[in-house]
Amino acid sequence: MGAALENAIPFAVTHELIRQGLQNLNMIAPISDISTDMLIGSGCVKTVTGAWVGNVSGGMGHNYRRAAEKGIPNSIKINDYSNFSIGMAFFAGAYGLPYIPVKSILGSDITKSNPSIKMSTNPFSDELEPVALVPALKPDIAFLVVQRSDHFGNSHIWGSTGLTQEASIAAEKIIVLADEIVEPEVIASDPSRVLIPGFGVNAVCHVPAACHPSPLIGRWKRDHEFFHNYHQETRDLAGFETWCDQWVRHLPDHEAYRSKLGDRLESLRIIGDAPSAPANYAAE
């Protein structure tokens, strides 16, 4: 979850996982802002596989610290990666490679704290050229927030995409959360903007603002204050419980969450106009 890094994070899914009380999850998330911290605090997580967990604009993730330092609410296992090395692990997973050599974690203690990474050398070089071998990473499910999709899951995404493409192709199942559902002709009019074709998608859900409080380019601004308040209010576990009851557990679904946000959500809606130039696909 959160393959795009700090935008298009599927917080609607984060909330639902908490409401359903799922446990023992392995959250594969390079940087998913406060999504992973919420899941850890709710006792959903057994393993964190990623590069960074915290509150990007607020600082540390209090739940992450409590779990890693004191085993509260439960102890967690951390599989450390850097952003590029987890990306290459998805790349290997996506394209059927058992592992992939990476250079940019050489010298880092990531190669020690993550025992799945093995050290080797370039077999094609006469000189000693170290490489780190990173095994393929294949998530069970990838949840993606997209700007628009048709009802087959053919989706348009624009703006930076982080590891969206590699992570979702590597995943066993893809679930799309579309900000808007459009006719198939709309998507087909610009196939170069399709990051994920419908034939790989298992389910499409129409969930406006599923990304809140993270941004979605051209649709929703980032709710900076929400991140700040979360940081302030979750300093102790009781504070997190109160926060989580208020924003997640006591709400039945994302529609209720959007209603609770009310005008605040409306103020985050992007109303400006900065369209790209049309691309001509005519064949003759």
Partner 1 sequence: MPENYSTQELMIIAAAREINDYERIFVGMRLPITAYGVARLTHAPNAVGLFESGVSRYEPAKDMLYTMCDGPNQLGAAWTTGLIQIMGLLSGGRVHAGFIGGAEIDRYGNINTSYIGDFDDPDVKLPGSGGAPDIASMAERLIVIMNHKKHRLVKKVDYITSPGFLGGGNERKMAGLIGGGPAVVITDRAILRPYGPENELHLAAYHPNHTVQEILKNTGWDLKSIPDVHETASPTKVELEALHQIDKDGFWRT
120 is a site residue for partner 1 (CB under 8 A): no
Nearer to partner 1 by Cβ, of 110 and 210: the residue is 110
Task: Choose the stretch contacting partner 1; rule: CB under 8 A; options: 74-82, 180-188, 200-208, 245-253.
Answer: 74-82
Rounded to 5 degrees, φ, ψ at 163 are -110, 20
Give the one residue of 162, 201, 212, 234 binding partner 1; rule: CB under 8 A: 162
Please report how close the Cβ of residue 59 comes to partner 1 at its closest, in angstroms: 8
Task: Choose the stretch contacting partner 1; rule: CB under 8 A; options: 146-154, 162-170, 180-188, 233-241.
Answer: 162-170
Task: Choose the stretch contacting partner 1; rule: CB under 8 A; options: 153-161, 185-193, 202-210, 254-262.
Answer: 153-161
Please report how close the Cβ of residue 140 comes to partner 1 at its closest, in angstroms: 21
Give the one residue of 215, 234, 247, 265 binding partner 1; rule: CB under 8 A: 215
Q: Round to whole Å and give the CA distance between 75 and 194.
A: 40
> Is-contact 137 125, C-beta < 8 A?
no
54 is a site residue for partner 1 (CB under 8 A): yes
The DSSP-derived string for 183-200 is: -HHHHHT-GGGEEE-GGG
Nearer to partner 1 by Cβ, of 237 and 251: the residue is 237
Task: Choose the stretch contacting partner 1; rule: CB under 8 A; options: 183-191, 216-224, 244-252, 253-261.
Answer: 216-224
Structure tokens at 99: 């592992």
Task: Choose the stretch contacting partner 1; rule: CB under 8 A; options: 16-24, 79-87, 173-181, 231-239.
Answer: 79-87
Q: Round to whole Å and give the CA distance between 133 and 85.
A: 10
Structure tokens at 17: 């996982």
Q: Round to whole Å and give the CA distance between 139 and 93.
A: 9
Q: Round to whole Å and give the CA distance between 216 and 166.
A: 19
Nearer to partner 1 by Cβ, of 24 and 122: the residue is 122
Tokens 């926060």: give the residue. Answer: 243
Q: Round to whole Å and give the CA distance between 221 and 202.
A: 28
CA-based angle 148:183:197, to the nearest 5?
Answer: 55
Q: Round to whole Å and give the CA distance between 57 and 134.
A: 30
Task: Quote the longest CA-to-CA distance of the chain.
Answer: 66
Nearer to partner 1 by Cβ, of 271 and 283: the residue is 271
Give the one residue of 23, 97, 129, 266 binding partner 1; rule: CB under 8 A: 129
Binding site for partner 1 (CB under 8 A): 4-7, 30-31, 33, 50-54, 56-57, 60-61, 64-65, 68-69, 80-85, 87-88, 91, 102-110, 112-113, 129-131, 158-166, 214-215, 217-218, 221-222, 224, 227, 270, 274
